[in-house]
């Protein structure tokens, strides 16, 4: 079939389960597309074609014997974000400090994915150690946004988003510690879902504050749910639920953060569009003020996270300036102090949340920066570019609430304001929706309602065949 790259991950798994197409054919189709198009976006930092084909052949033998995994992703090609170990593949975390590193084993969630029948094509590019919301690693080229190759695909899961937007993969494996799923999903016109803290198996033992979780970047709710089911700690993603009427929905349109400009008019229009659709679905909608958490209060948590990385001095010297600055500042903060700060901020945000059921915000407060910003020598300037991208997302890593970015494609020119920065041409705007802790199934129900009302989340950048 010549259109395999246009199929969803769930559709591909179904085609392979019925024998209409083989695992080798699917893997070859994506490897061929990768060879042709990855140089334009640099989504993959390592391609493992030979081992992927071996995995696909092994899957086909299993299926022929009737022993294929009973999984929604059986036989589906996937890349793994390069913060996570994959057997016999590089583990560089986007950093020159680990340029020599290869992993002898699969990480725990990679093992779960393989047990589910996933075929691993290689490693997806990340910002250095996942620190920044743009992907400009020193070990390779910057990841470019398929909607506008002069701009970043976001980060830190920039490779995951660029790969899905360019249809190099049907589904993206990603992670999110301050917005690293939702930000690149928003900038690349995709659906990204950050589950509740503890909803998925935690595969980052060095991230002791538990700000981060893995999750999907996808073109459909069904594909995202398939990845969540494979990695979940319980059955919350197994049974779809309906969206109840009368939910209390609050809108937050603008950040109250020094140095962050008012949200572009097009993004405001996208938020209003989502609010109107939820109102039509029976929700009660009202506006709310910004959460009581500034970038300066989140920053110590982020600094402590990177100070905790066990890197000797010679490796520290090879880090990018912004990562070095985070580590150096974080050394003055103990883990106990950071944990106490996280808990205090979480309590404050929970009081602010009150009786809200859903919060709707822009996913980002600015357009995608130009590629290369993450390599800047002035760490403070790099951080200043990061804040508008993470200002709406980071609070919900503190609380551990489930949150998603949904792509809203407005009519051409709708909400345009020539005086403010706009997203890349024709790119859908990312709108964040947040639910209460543990209500991941309800948030997926919201996603399905919006997916249907918006005509789908499957948008293609111009010029990608």
pLDDT digits (tens, 9 = 90+) for 358-376: 999 999 999 999 999 999 9
Q: What local confidence, expressed as pLDDT, does residue 414 receive?
A: 61
Give the H or E element holding residue 150: strand 148-152
Give the CATH number for residue 21.
3.90.1300.10
φ/ψ bin of 239: left (φ > 0), alpha (ψ from -120 to 50), beta (otherwise): beta
- Do 451 and 404 contact (CB within 8 A), yes or no? no
Stronger pLDDT, 149 or 207, i.e. the higher one: 149
Average pLDDT for residues 383-399, to the nearest whole number?
A: 98
Q: pLDDT digit string (tens) for 180-212?
A: 999 999 999 999 999 999 999 987 767 889 999
424 pLDDT tier (thresholds 50, 70, 90): very low
The confidence score (pLDDT) of residue 413 equals 60
- Residue 157 falls in the annotated catalytic set: no
Is 296 part of a structural domain of the chain?
yes
> Which of 208, 144, 141, 152 is CA-nearest to residue 177?
208
Q: What percentage of the chain carries pLDDT values higher than 90?
A: 91
Beta carbons within 8 Å of 277's beta carbon, 6+ residues apart: 449, 450, 453, 454
Catalytic residue among 22, 142, 156, 220: 156
| The pLDDT of residue 417 is above 60 | no
Q: What are the residues whose beta carbons fall under 8 Å from the beta carbon of 54, sequence distance 6 or more?
A: none
DSSP 188: T
Residue range 319-370, pLDDT digits in tens: 999 999 999 999 999 999 999 999 999 999 999 999 999 999 999 999 999 9
Is residue 217 situated within a structural domain? yes
Question: Using an 8 Å Cβ cutoff, are 153 and 146 in contact?
Answer: yes
Phi, psi dihedral angles at 152 (to 5 degrees): -70, 150
Report residue 353 as tokens. 């949340």
| 221 pLDDT higher than 80 | yes
pLDDT at residue 76 greater than cutoff 60: yes
pLDDT in tens, 33-47: 999 999 999 999 999
H or E stretch covering 175: strand 172-176
Find all residues with CB under 8 Å of 231, minimum gap 6, and list them. Answer: 109, 112, 113, 200, 201, 214
Does any domain span residue 465? no
Structural contact between residues 451 and 457, judged by C-beta atoms closer than 8 angstroms: yes
Residue 460 lies in a domain: no
Verify whether residue 212 is a known catalytic residue. Answer: no
pLDDT the model gives residue 415: 55
The pair of three-digit structure tokens given for residue 201, joined into one six-digit string: 């198996």
Q: Please give the mean pLDDT across all residues of the chain.
A: 95
Is residue 426, in this structure, part of any structural domain at all? Answer: yes
| Closest residue by Cα to residue 409 from 251, 274, 243, 281 | 274
Query: Is 51 part of any domain?
Result: yes
Q: Which of 180, 212, 220, 405 is catalytic?
A: 180
Q: Is 142 labeled as catalytic in the residue annotation?
A: no
Residue 148 reports pLDDT greater than 50: yes
Among candidate residues 161, 194, 192, the one with its CA nearest the CA of residue 405: 192
**pLDDT (tens digit per residue) in 13-30:** 999 999 999 999 999 999
Which has the higher per-residue pLDDT, 412 or 247? 247
In a domain, 463, yes or no: no
The pLDDT of residue 416 is 52
Q: How many domains in the chain?
A: 1
Average pLDDT estimate for 107-124: 97
Radius of gyration of the chain (CA): 21
379 — alpha (psi -120 to 50), left (phi > 0) or beta?
Answer: alpha
Domain containing 113 equals 4-453
Number of other residues whose CB lies within 10 A of the CB of residue 417: 14
* Residue 161: Cβ-neighbour burial (10 angstroms; 0-12, 13-18, 19+): buried
Cis peptide before 156 (omega within 30 of 0): yes
Percent of the chain whose pLDDT exceeds 70: 96
Taking CA atoms, 264 is separated from 147, 150, 254, 306, in Å, by 18, 20, 9, 32
> Which residue out of 71, 81, 142, 157 is catalytically annotated?
81
What is the predicted pLDDT for the residue at 425? Answer: 55
Mapping DSSP to helix (H, G, I), strand (E, B) and coil, where does residue 144 land? strand
Residues 6+ apart with CB under 8 A from 235: none
* Global confidence as pTM: 0.96
Residue 182 lies in a domain: yes
Burial code of 325-345, b = ≥16 C-beta within 10 A, e = fewer?
Answer: bbbebbeebeeeebeebbeeb
Phi first, then psi: give them for residue 365, nearest 5 degrees.
-105, 5
């Amino acid at each position: 079939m010549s259109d395999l790259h246009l199929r969803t991950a769930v559709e591909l798994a179904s085609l392979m389960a019925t024998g209409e197409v083989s695992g080798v054919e699917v893997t070859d189709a994506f490897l061929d597309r990768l060879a042709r198009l990855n140089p334009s976006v640099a989504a993959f930092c390592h391609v493992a074609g030979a081992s992927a084909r071996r995995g696909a052949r092994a899957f086909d033998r299993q299926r022929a014997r009737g022993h294929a995994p009973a999984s929604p992703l059986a036989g589906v090609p996937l890349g793994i974000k390069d913060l996570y170990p994959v057997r016999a593949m590089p583990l560089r975390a986007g950093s020159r400090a680990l340029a020599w590193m290869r992993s002898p084993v699969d990480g725990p969630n990679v093992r779960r994915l393989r047990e589910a029948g996933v075929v691993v094509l290689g490693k997806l590019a990340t910002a250095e150690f996942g620190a920044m919301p743009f992907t400009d690693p020193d070990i390779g080229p910057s990841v470019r946004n398929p909607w506008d190759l002069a701009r970043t695909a976001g980060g830190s899961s920039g490779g995951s988003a660029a790969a899905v937007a360019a249809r190099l993969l049907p589904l993206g494996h990603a992670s999110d510690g301050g917005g690293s799923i939702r930000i690149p999903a928003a900038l690349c016109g995709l659906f990204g879902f950050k589950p509740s803290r503890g909803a998925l198996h935690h595969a980052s033992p060095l991230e002791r504050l538990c700000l981060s979780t893995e999750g999907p970047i996808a073109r459909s709710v069904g594909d995202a749910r398939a990845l969540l089911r494979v990695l979940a700690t319980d059955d919350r993603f197994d049974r779809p639920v309906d969206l109840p009427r009368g939910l209390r929905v609050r809108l937050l349109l603008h950040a109250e953060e020094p140095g962050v400009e008012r949200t572009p008019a097009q993004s405001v229009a996208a938020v209003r569009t989502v609010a109107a659709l939820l109102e039509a679905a029976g929700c009660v909608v009202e506006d709310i003020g910004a959460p009581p958490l500034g970038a300066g209060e989140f920053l110590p948590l982020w600094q402590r996270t990177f100070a905790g990385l066990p890197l000797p001095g010679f490796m520290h010297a090879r880090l990018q300036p912004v990562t070095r600055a985070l580590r150096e500042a974080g050394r003055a903060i103990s883990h106990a102090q950071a944990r106490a700060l996280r808990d205090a901020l979480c309590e404050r945000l929970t009081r602010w949340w009150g009786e809200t059921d859903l919060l709707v915000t822009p996913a980002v407060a600015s357009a995608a920066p130009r590629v290369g910003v993450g390599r800047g020598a002035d760490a403070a300037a790099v951080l200043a570019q990061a804040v508008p991208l993470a200002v709406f997302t980071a609070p919900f890593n503190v609380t551990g609430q489930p949150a998603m970015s949904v792509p809203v494609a407005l009519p051409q020119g709708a909400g345009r304001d020539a005086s403010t920065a706009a997203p890349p041409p024709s790119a859908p705007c990312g709108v964040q929706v947040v639910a209460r802790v543990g209500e991941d199934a309800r948030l997926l129900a919201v996603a399905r309602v919006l997916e249907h009302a918006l005509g789908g989340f499957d948008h293609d950048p111009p010029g990608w065949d």
